[in-house]
A = this chain, B = another copy of it.
Amino acid sequence: MSKPERTYSISDFAQEFDTTTRAIRFYESEGLLAPARDGQKRIYTHADYVKLKLIMRGKRLGWTLAESRELIEMYDPSGNQAQYKRVLEKIAESRERMQHQLHEIEQAMMELDAQEKRVKAAMKKQLK
């Protein structure tokens, strides 16, 4: 009695994520996605949706596809105790990387604020 999950076509995904079918197939060829098939057609589920969302966000944050693939693999369960431990380690590594990025962006924004003040001051001075 499980509700029939919503599915998506490859062009549904392309529109939804403002990308191309070519790119989506490429991610699959690189092992980031593995959609079901209806004949030869790809059928995407909500799980694929989540993964692609992660991929696209990763792109905007400058992550490589290899890094996003690592992250995706962390979100797969599949494990004994040793595997779980490895996942926890990878999570810790990822957290450090993200923390570092976070810090660098905050830094960049502060410098931007400072520069804005300088420019505004220069404008006032020039108007006197």
A residues touching B (Cβ–Cβ < 8 Å)? 57, 59-63, 74-75, 77, 79-81, 84, 87-88, 91, 94-95, 98-102, 104-109, 112, 115-116, 119-120, 122-123, 126-127
Cβ-defined partner of A99 (8 Å) among B95, B109, B116: B109
Question: Which one, B84, B104, B116, contacts A60 given CB within 8 A?
Answer: B104
Q: Which residue of chain B lies nearest to A77 when distances are taken between CB atoms in the complex?
A: B122
**Residue in B closest to A79 when the chains form the complex, CB atoms:** B122
Q: Is the CB of B62 within 8 A of A91?
A: no
CB-based contact B57/A88 at 8 Å: no
Report how far A107 CA is from B57 CA in the complex, Å: 10
Q: Which of B98, B107, B123 contacts A84 (CB 8 A)?
A: B123
A121 to B101, CA, bound (A): 28
